[in-house]
Amino acid sequence: MKIIVVGTGYVGLVTGACLSDVGAEVVCIDIDQQKIRNLQAGILPIYEPGLEEIVHRNAQKGRLSFGTDIASGIREADAIFIAVGTPEGEDGSADLKYVIAVAEQIGEHLEDYAVIVTKSTVPVGSSVKVKEAISASMARHGRQVPFDVASNPEFLKEGAAINDFMSPDRIVIGVESDRAAKVMEQIYKPFLLNGFRIIFMDIPSAEMTKYAANAMLATRISFMNDIANLCEILGADINQVRSGIGSDPRIGNKFLYAGIGYGGSCFPKDVKALMRTGEQHGHPLKMLEIVEEINEKQKLVLFRKLCRILGTDLTGKRIAVWGLSFKPQTDDMREAPSIETIHALVRAGAEVRAYDPVAMKEAGRHIDQPVTYTEDEYTALEDADALMLLTEWREFRLPDWERVKALMRRPLILDGRNIYNAKELEAQGFVYQCIGVGNQG
């Protein structure tokens, strides 16, 4: 099986690496020449646990290679995966320009039948646009080659991407021909050994499934955050409420954590894009408007707590921040709540000292305020007036509290992910606040 993957970001690189790991011959293409030079030299553009080892192993075996020219290897390709970015356009809709650019290139170079698989998250109807762009490009170049389009949305979670790809809960594939379905089944058969299901459907439904899944997950987060904020007012504890409702199998116990709002490269833009699709078709999705509104407010919930304790003028105050990436096990800073929190802190006059195990370099590209990045979590605490825990990295879970207290100017902990034990910390003399727990501080 010969496969081309276009776009070597979180999705494309994981897809290419994992497909090569089960024996396919994969060429990963990107327009970013530096990224490709680095990959050819074994340097990965992203942090994703386990990925580097798979990339190195398969590159060594000659099954995984990298290039900038889609034309190379296209002759033998059975399938071409489009995994380029679909960023938020000016009006909130998904910007398809990168996807269409790839489709045009495919049209220019395709020589033999292949399935063109859209893996990028794209609105319903995009596969039709991809098909049209390929056909139009073929016509411009005086060629006519048979092909099929397919939609294969990706559900991997950054930080657990390899496992999600290798042992997925499900694989959703939208097709419009049996020939395409056969190719797709063959590609994913090695992963079927684990007993998971491929769910074949029509293309519009596959495209919609991805948006509906992310919108549902974002809704759960905003719902829990909304209830958490009410718990605080009423003297209830969202952690206990979570156990109470999560034990109902109709609700389930996953994805019910209160916190400082969702971020990342997917939920914010996908929720917006789905809202925009609804508007464009005369069916505004009112619920998602609220989901988004709650999330925007929630991103600064910890900052507001801090201001209630230290005042709104933070001049002369030093704040330690633990965790910057939008979630643990990734260096992805896109839409991370830490960005807005740190901007608010600096605007209020605070000095920020931050530590993240992997995302500090990436953070520098997203946070245009003066921040001191420290070599470890304890250095960030020196003379701090408060510690804000923003990302629940495993290594922050069991700190040496005596050392923490000795380093800080003021023993104030604001836990944005509810990972610490209030009683334990209060017994050690800390003032502790988290999300959604009443009667604190």
Query: For ligand NAD, which residue of 25, 48, 148, 154 counts as binding (CB under 6 A)?
Result: 154
Tell which positions 120-139 bind ligand NAD, by CB under 6 A. Answer: 120-121
In this chain, which stretch among 2-10, 140-148, 307-315, 405-413 interacts with ligand NAD, using CB under 6 A? 2-10
**Is residue 25 close enough to count as binding ligand NAD by CB under 6 A?**
no
Contacts of 163 (CB under 8 A, 6+ apart): 50
Smallest separation, CB 405 to ligand NAD (Å):
37
The mark string for 42-71 relative to ligand NAD (x by CB under 6 A, - otherwise) is ------------------------------
The catalytic position among 18, 28, 231, 266 is 266
Residue 434: active-site member = no
CA-nearest of 215, 141, 193, 210 to 22 is 193
How remote is the C-alpha of 294 from its chain's centroid?
A: 19
**Is residue 85 close enough to count as binding ligand NAD by CB under 6 A?**
yes
**Is residue 172 close enough to count as binding ligand NAD by CB under 6 A?**
no
Nearer to ligand NAD, 272 or 417 (CB): 272
Tell which positions 231-290 bind ligand NAD, by CB under 6 A. Answer: 265-266
**Is residue 422 close enough to count as binding ligand NAD by CB under 6 A?**
no
Smallest separation, CB 12 to ligand NAD (Å):
6
Nearer to ligand NAD, 133 or 346 (CB): 133
Residue count, binding to ligand NAD (CB under 6 A): 26
Residue least distant from ligand NAD (Cβ):
9
User: Are the CB atoms for 84 and 103 separated by under 8 Å?
Assistant: no
**Active site residues per annotation:** 266
- Residues in contact with ligand NAD by the rule CB under 6 A: 6-12, 29-32, 35, 83-86, 98, 101-102, 120-121, 154, 156, 158, 265-266
